[in-house]
Structure 1
């Protein structure tokens, strides 16, 4: 896909390209986050249980546990609303670009809807590039979103189980 194909997509290609950059940036950030988190290690579980161990048993401990879990989950869910929006906005922007491109093609064909002499239909197919890009952006955003949500739910369950285990082992 060259510059002419991007130009054929029309002005809607600018927000589509910006959206794709945002989605990829969130994807890289989430990858780095989960690498730092250490999915296979119990480091986060130990940090959580150690911070809770310093608090005496009772209602305040339950509140602190809920607060700690909510703060951790907030970090795990970062970027999800943007990814969710991108799964919807990407294809819609692509369709807008395709419709405007088809309108230009129909105007170029004239009232008889015939190709100008020496013109090829191949060049007109480039109006679909915006739909293609919108769908690709939405697909990448959906994969990132579902992967992050799955990891977040898995880690939340592990942390809750660690809290329950620490509570049961507490004197």
Structure 2
């Protein structure tokens, strides 16, 4: 049974289900490519930036700038690119950047949730419409004849839309949960890296203030 024959036997609900399946697959493939692209080098970027920030703040900023094609790079570059400021401003820059990047990581999530909700309902609607059509053709005199066997076949074919809707919903749900787990891990990573970078920045500003204080004392003496 080819795709076109399956669509015809499944009834009119199969066409919106086909549209939903195409939308779902497009989001799934796009998100898979997105996550494979960013997770590949993320840990190396974080380690390089944090290590450089302990000694050379400008080098850390340059490393983050080179990684701006990835969310973690943009997240780190936003506070590092600030002119010398108080730690509170630095923390606000981290939080603002994290919120923006995490929102981008949730792209397509609402569409998948809509597909998960609509697919079973459309499948059930197709089955109900098929049953109505099949049962409407039954006559009392046809009971026990081959005509009833044809009706049974029609009822079986009407269940195709329900099966299709469930398959689409289950597949979309599995990938939606997978992508949500990736986002959850990113939230933990951003929180951990942000705290380490903020602590490094506080130590950096403290050393800088102590150095300026010592220099002023030498000039005054």
Aligned to 1:33: 34
Secondary structure at the residue paired with 1:109?
Answer: coil
Answering whether residue 39 of structure 2 is matched by residue 10 of structure 1, we say no
- The 2-side partners of 1:12 and 1:132 are apart by 12
Superimposed CA distance per residue, residues 108-147 of structure 1 (whole angstroms, 9 cap, x where no aligned partner): 2235673763644345311101000100110011011101
Higher relative contact order (CA 8 A, sep 6+): 1
For these two proteins, the number of residue pairs brought into alignment is: 171
The Cα shift of 1:61 comes to 1.9
Query: Going by fraction, where is helix more abundant, 1 or 2?
Result: 2
Deviates more, 1:78-87 or 1:3-12: 3-12
- The 2-side partners of 1:94 and 1:64 are apart by 47
Answering whether residue 113 of structure 2 is matched by residue 89 of structure 1, we say no
Superimposed CA distance per residue, residues 76-125 of structure 1 (whole angstroms, 9 cap, x where no aligned partner): 10000011111110000000000000011101223567376364434531
- The 2-side partners of 1:87 and 1:159 are apart by 29
Task: Using structure 2 for the length normalisation, give the TM-score.
Answer: 0.70
The Cα shift of 1:158 comes to 0.5
CA contact (8 A) 1:9 1:128 kept: yes
**Structure 1: any 5+ residue segments left out of the alignment?**
none
**Structure 2: any 5+ residue segments left out of the alignment?**
50-72, 205-221
CA contact (8 A) 1:106 1:113 kept: no
- The 1-side partners of 2:77 and 2:44 are apart by 10
CA contact (8 A) 2:120 2:169 kept: yes
Query: Which of the pair has more CA radius of gyration?
Result: 2
Answering whether residue 50 of structure 2 is matched by residue 49 of structure 1, we say no
Structure 2 vs 1, CA of residues 10 and 165 (structure 1 numbering), >3 Å: closer, same or farther? same
Answering whether residue 195 of structure 2 is matched by residue 168 of structure 1, we say no
The Cα shift of 1:71 comes to 1.2
